[in-house]
Amino acid sequence: MSEPVRLSKRMSELGISSRREADEWIEKGWVKVDGKVVSQLGSKVLPHQKITIEKQASQEQSRRVTILINKPMGYVSGQAEDGYKPAVALISEDTHWKDDPSKEKFRPSQLRSLVPAGRLDIDSVGLLVLTQDGRIAKHLIGENSPTDKEYLVRVKYTRPGRLPDSELNMLRHGLKLDGKALLPAKVEWQNDDQLRFVLREGKKRQIRRMCEAVGLRVIGLKRIRIGNVRLGDLPTGQWRYLRPEEKF
């Protein structure tokens, strides 16, 4: 027989909500299991049981926004640290991209519970996702996230000659970080000093550490795509809303 699991965990597995959202809705009496309201935190369900949510939960979820920002250098992705500002500090009515095709209007309340779905180093630039939607955060940064990310990386080879093809192949597959083998990556030259990386994982300073391992020094790093969502023409330091039809 299948083992019962926490209701909030099951809702997260089904893509209904994040666990935190689920717990909030359970406390408010907005969750039903087989047609009956469940309001006790920690309640468990069996996999075959039907979970539904009240319209209040759907309405609350639909008001949650996801923001795409072209992060400049010098900003951290999450909490402020060592005197550096977090990327969320860049989000205001003044920095909202004038060519944003979304019809969503900026409200200060949108800054509440807005968290980075993935990180971008302080000395890296480009596409950063900030969201109030736990489902998107889970999809992008979950342990088994299927979403790939694309980077343009300007490099300088620190050894004589050019980077050998054998070392380029090591970047693609064969390196270890922190004692653990990295997943295969797509790595190819764009021009004489710029590489294109496509990764499906995001260990701390991963690309920089990969490059160091084969004698490359990173001069500049820019993320240009996450899944099906591209940075495009979004100017540095400005932001726009993820549109309803856009899917990572």
For 132, how many CA atoms within 13 A lie in the half-sphere containing its CB? 14
Architecture of domain 149-226: 2-Layer Sandwich (3.30)
For the segment 169-212, what is each residue's pLDDT rounded down to a tens digit? 999 999 999 999 999 999 999 999 999 999 998 888 999 999 99
Q: What is the pTM of this model?
A: 0.80
Annotated domain spans of the chain = 5-62, 66-144+229-241, 149-226
Overall size of the chain counted in residues: 248
How many CA within 13 A on the CB side of residue 219? 8
66-144+229-241 topology per CATH: Alpha-Beta Plaits (3.30.70)
pLDDT at 1 over 60: no
Which position among 82, 100, 121, 233 bears the catalytic label? Answer: 121
The correct answer on CATH 1.10.10.10 for the domain covering 5-62 is: no
Q: Chain-wide mean pLDDT for the chain?
A: 91
Q: What is the mean pLDDT of residues 109-133?
A: 91
The pLDDT tens digits for 123-166 are: 999 999 999 888 888 888 866 788 999 999 999 999 999 999 99
> Phi and psi for 165 in degrees, rounded to 5?
-60, -35
Structure tokens at 219: 């001069």
Is 121 designated active site? yes
